[in-house]
């Protein structure tokens, strides 16, 4: 890619100043240095809690911006990518968050010298499916139950201080006597009633761990979602499940059941539960999730 190609597009950057543990001033300075070195016309917007990133990007599309960059973690990335759905414009990810699971699944450099500048070299566009909840689109997973309850109580300051470790520590504190609930899950019109500790609708993987797939065959561009029911009563049950996932055992576990969805999933629960999507709490049950095939694209290393 020539310097002329880089400078030729008006660039819109969404920067989350509280993502991860990097100093926000350093992140901004590093980014501005790259943009100005390549003589790009740009605008940087620093996000605040509660910002509608989807709308922010949609508004920027009406302002003749042709290149979009998200600097932050999974929530920032999915919010920006949501606003680009239905366009041919790929989102560029500069991963500075706590988990950066989406960047990892797309094989974008994380925590290296190339994390800020990888997109300046030869790259490709990766088209992926999305999960739509109301007007927002998500790309990793949507879950209800143990993990969403855990995420709800994670403190932002502790998250910056401890990184991904905070999810493990908070989860361990809540793993004594896990609550199971009665879920009514309608998958493409068919009702499934299950009593379990968690329901995960997965498009890629688990947001706060290195790439782990509840369903080994899941792909981000296969036109389907995996609806997984997790039955766990205690810490030992979760350790068994994650142990089998990490070792990629092929034997089916009675504690983990996954079904394919090709259109939509509707979930009702016997108790009001928070909904987690791409690492953020987005609301409470009930919830409807629609599959949007080939919804958005991301720029990835060639």
SS3 138: strand
Structural class in CATH, domain 3-130? alpha beta
CB environment 216-227: b (16+ within 10 A), e (fewer): eebebeeebbbb
pLDDT > 70 fraction of the chain, expressed in percent and rounded: 81
Place of tokens 């508004």: 59
pLDDT in tens, 231-254: 888 777 777 777 776 665 545 567
Give CA 136 to chain center in angstroms.
12
Report the C-alpha gap between 122 and 1 in whole angstroms. 6
Q: Where are the domains of the chain?
A: 3-130, 141-292
pLDDT of residue 164: 46
Enter the pTM of the model: 0.84
pLDDT in tens, 55-73: 999 999 988 899 999 999 9
Tokens of 185: 């899950």
Residue 197: pLDDT over 60: yes
> What does the DSSP 8-state code read for residue 242?
H
Residues 244-272: what's their mean pLDDT?
81
Structural class in CATH, domain 141-292? mainly beta
Residue 78: pLDDT over 90: yes
pLDDT in tens, 169-179: 444 445 555 78
CB environment 128-158: b (16+ within 10 A), e (fewer): bbbbbbeebbbbbbbbbbbbbbbbeebeeee
């Amino acid at each position: 890619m020539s310097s002329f190609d880089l400078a030729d597009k008006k660039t819109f950057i969404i920067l989350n100043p509280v993502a991860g543990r990097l100093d926000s001033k350093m992140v901004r300075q590093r980014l501005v240095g790259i943009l100005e070195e390549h003589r790009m016309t740009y605008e940087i917007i620093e996000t605040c809690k509660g910002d509608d990133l989807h709308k922010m990007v949609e508004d920027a599309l009406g302002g003749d911006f042709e290149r979009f960059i998200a600097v932050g973690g999974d929530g920032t990335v999915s919010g920006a990518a949501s606003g680009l759905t239905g366009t041919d414009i790929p989102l560029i990810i500069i991963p500075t968050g706590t988990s950066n699971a989406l960047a990892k699944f797309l094989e974008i450099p994380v925590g290296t010298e190339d994390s800020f500048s990888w997109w300046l070299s030869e790259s490709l566009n990766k088209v992926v499916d999305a999960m739509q909840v109301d007007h927002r689109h998500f790309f990793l997973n949507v879950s209800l139950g143990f993990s969403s309850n855990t995420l709800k109580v994670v403190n932002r300051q502790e998250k910056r201080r401890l990184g991904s470790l905070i999810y493990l520590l908070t989860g361990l504190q809540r793993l004594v006597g896990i609550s199971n609930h009665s879920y009514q899950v309608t998958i493409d019109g068919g009702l499934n009633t299950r009593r379990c500790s968690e329901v995960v609708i997965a498009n890629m993987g688990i947001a706060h761990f290195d790439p782990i797939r509840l369903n080994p065959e899941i792909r981000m561009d296969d036109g389907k979602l995996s609806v997984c029911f997790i039955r766990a009563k205690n810490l030992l049950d979760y350790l068994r499940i994650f142990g089998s996932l990490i070792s990629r055992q092929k034997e089916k576990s009675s504690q983990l059941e996954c079904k394919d969805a090709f259109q939509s999933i509707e979930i009702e629960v016997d108790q009001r539960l928070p909904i987690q999507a791409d690492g953020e709490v987005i609301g409470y049950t009930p919830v409807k999730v629609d599959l949007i095939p080939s919804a958005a694209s991301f720029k990835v290393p060639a």
